[in-house]
Amino acid sequence: MHAELPLSGITVISCEQAVAAPFASRQLADLGARVIKIERPGNGDFARGYDTTVNGMASHFVWLNRNKESLSLDLKHPEGKKILKDLVAEADVFIQNFAPGAAERLGFSAEELRGMNDRLIYASISGYGPDGPYKNAKAYDALVQAEAGLVSVTGTEDHPAKTGISTADISAGMYTYSGILTALFNRERTGEGATLQISLFDSLVEWMGYPLYFTHGGGTRPTRAGTSHAAIAPYGAFTCGDGTQIMLAIQNEREWKSFATHVLGRDDMVTDDRFDRAAHRYAHRDELQTIIEGVFADFTGAHCDELLETAKVAHSRQRDMTEIADHPQLVERERWQDVGSPVGPIPMLVPPVGMSGVEPRMDPIPDVGDHTDTILGDLGFSPEKVAELHREGAV
């Protein structure tokens, strides 16, 4: 056990699959909570089969499931139901992202489980919430991105796009995580558990705050501008002569003056009435783009970085995913650590929040049902009974 970790002593039972619920429970596990992941006997969480790119394991599953124990249960089998309820009776947190209505049909509603354990924090993750006209709608990440308007503000005017990561799932997972932490804190004061309802749609609509309020208040959505900005120039990726892409986001007059003078070598552009203030630069952004691209064509990426650093102009590299693992900021700060798995050690990023006096928990990724026999033994099942449950397909 990780006695030094903040959530040591907290037990989480998670009926989870795919992304949102596993992402939430992994954050809790990283902080020391004991997370018992309930999986179907045999194939387990279907995210295990998304791909085979990480030494034969799925990249999604590797990302989301370190530090957990896997218990295989058939939740339609009477013995499987009983085992789950026995675990929940002593647990602190229960997480589920079943299909709409499935928890109730299986006998695992918030009312039933919290009736057994009034200190239980019950977190239910759904696509669109427990009521309303969309409550039974399928809610895969891309579908919710479209429904919540994210696709409408991403990409270019000619080509709207979803984001390249599971943004709806991740947002719901993070709100589930923070909601559970809040409920645990509140329980310390009141002694009472709580029922939490989190939906992918509500979570992502909250993240749509700027374009949502911009559009709702003004009547038009922000322009889809790719890596550029809907109101600021120069803003976006510019290509150097060696192919390096430099990202600029010049947002004030001090940086513009320094950029024009020391990087472009064009003092005249500071006072040119096409470029002398932000609104003028945006109105003449195509001309500005052409000038910058012409200058950058004579630079290497390294020389451009040096000029921008000297001029104190904010910038970055637009990097391909093949470059990120070896990013100097990750390497120098030792942000990778090996984690055990059924296929051997796998390098994984340590948790993004560092806490003084706390070492990050980096325990193995489980195979399906890796901990079934141990957990059942802890519940008082004899080896003979455990073997019988295996034969019956209950576990």
The yes-or-no answer on residue 229 being catalytic is yes
Catalytic residue among 2, 60, 229, 315: 229
Q: Confirm if 319 and 327 have CB atoms less than 8 A apart.
A: yes
Contact 187, 119 (CB under 8 A): yes
How far apart CA 68 and CA 174 sit, in angstroms, is 18
Separation CA 79–CA 70 (nearest Å): 17
Q: What's the one-letter identity of residue 18?
A: A
**Bond before 100 cis per omega within 30 degrees:** no
Query: What DSSP string runs through 250-293?
Result: --SHHHHHHIIIIIS--THHHH-TTTSSHHHHHHTHHHHHHHHH
CA distance 33 to 88: 15
Element (H, E) at 103: helix 102-106
Query: 47: which strand partners?
Result: none
The residue type of 143 is: L
Residue 98 phi, psi (nearest 5):
-60, 165
Q: What secondary structure does DSSP assign to 299-347, as a single string?
A: --HHHHHHHHHHTT--EEE---HHHHTT-HHHHHTT-EEEE--TTS-EE
Strand partners, 68: 35
Residues acting as catalytic residues: 229
